[in-house]
């Protein structure tokens, strides 16, 4: 039995071909976003839902909405129709590392006084960040693939001991884009296929945040999805590496909604996940407050 059997048994209209379909997907009308077509797809090979209009959705909640049954009953259907018979987190390799060398923006150097002043102004220890998180900086002239990267902190993404991608943060407060990431064609691994953090120091417990500065606050416990929009590959990576995860996105309605989605996806994959509220964004926390936060999270989950 499979998802098509479930849709047939519960009289849920679906399509496997047409303008909104791609091979390996079964599409239905999305119950979340007022969809008037079939934008919600179910990936047959990897057992997850994704709407091409409003993003990914937890499988239990989605089955519940489509069948008009409770979530408890939906969990039984998932077992009955073998929708999670092969856990996707066991598939290898999860992350494809391309055999190429990452190129950096021109004139990338160790942090200068201006970069360190910016970080210190945000309550960070610049020397510690430079050494621990391998930060670099750019000056008044810096480009890559025709993109201007001047006056920025360069933040490497290290995966399996390789420098695979980067993002950058403006330090002037004048740039139209605060963050600029590595051009997709230059990445060894796409930064949304992994999460940002100190991978070599991870243990069972992690704190999931939005951006690099948030992760810095929590040290080896912090890791970032690079925005509140997370990908299915990131969910798989998190579920593979952590047993317990506190999701700590910003305290805004959209961020809270995404955090709840991520918690649901991780719980479905057997992770002890929960959302934690913060007054502002984690990156703005005083360091002593962040340290106390980490201790509290460890007490809750250990």
pTM (2 d.p.): 0.71
pLDDT tens for 212-222 read: 999 999 999 99
How far apart, in whole angstroms, are the C-alpha atoms of residue 302 and residue 292? Answer: 15
pLDDT in tens, 250-300: 888 888 989 998 998 898 888 999 999 887 788 888 899 989 988 888 876
Provide the pLDDT for residue 22.
Answer: 72
Q: How many Cα atoms occupy the beta-carbon half-sphere of 269 within 13 Å?
A: 28
pLDDT at residue number 87: 40
What is the SS3 assignment for 294? helix
Each residue's pLDDT tens digit, 130-160: 999 999 999 999 999 899 999 999 999 999 9
Residue 235's pLDDT band (boundaries 50, 70, 90)? very high
Quick one: tokens of 257? 């909604």
Average pLDDT over residues 180-190: 90
Give the residue-averaged pLDDT of 93-101.
Answer: 57
All structural domains of the chain, each given as residue ranges with its CATH number in brackets, are 3-86 (3.90.580.10), 113-186 (3.90.980.10), 196-301 (3.40.1360.10)
pLDDT at 56 (0 to 100): 73
- Taking a C-beta distance cutoff of 8 angstroms, is the pair 71, 61 a contact? yes
């Amino acid at each position: 039995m499979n998802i098509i059997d479930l849709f047939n048994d519960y009289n849920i209209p679906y399509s496997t071909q047409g303008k909104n379909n791609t091979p390996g997907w079964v599409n239905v009308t999305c119950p979340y976003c007022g969809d008037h077509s079939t934008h919600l797809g179910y990936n047959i090979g990897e057992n997850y839902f994704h709407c091409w209009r409003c993003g990914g959705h937890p499988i239990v909640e989605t089955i519940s909405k489509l069948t008009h049954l409770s979530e408890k009953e939906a969990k039984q259907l998932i077992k009955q129709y073998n929708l999670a018979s092969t856990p996707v987190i066991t598939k290898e390799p999860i992350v494809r590392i391309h055999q190429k060398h990452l190129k950096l923006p021109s004139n990338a150097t160790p942090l200068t006084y201006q970069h360190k002043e910016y970080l210190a102004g945000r309550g960070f220890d610049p020397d510690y960040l430079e050494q621990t998180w391998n930060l670099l900086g750019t000056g008044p002239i810096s480009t890559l693939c025709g993109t201007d990267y001047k006056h920025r902190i360069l933040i490497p993404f290290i995966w399996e001991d390789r420098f695979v991608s980067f993002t950058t943060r403006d330090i002037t407060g004048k740039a139209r884009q605060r963050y600029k990431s590595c051009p997709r064609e230059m990445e060894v691994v796409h930064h949304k296929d992994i999460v940002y953090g100190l991978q070599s120091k991870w243990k069972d417990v992690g704190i999931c945040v939005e951006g690099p500065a948030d992760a810095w606050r929590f040290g080896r416990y912090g890791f970032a999805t690079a925005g509140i929009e997370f990908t299915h590959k990131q969910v798989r990576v998190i579920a593979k590496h952590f047993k317990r995860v506190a999701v700590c996105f910003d305290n805004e309605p959209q961020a809270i909604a995404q955090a709840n989605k991520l918690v649901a996806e991780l719980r479905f994959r057997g992770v002890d996940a929960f959302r934690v509220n913060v007054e502002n964004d984690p990156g703005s926390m005083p360091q002593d407050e962040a340290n106390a936060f980490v201790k509290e999270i460890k007490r809750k989950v250990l």
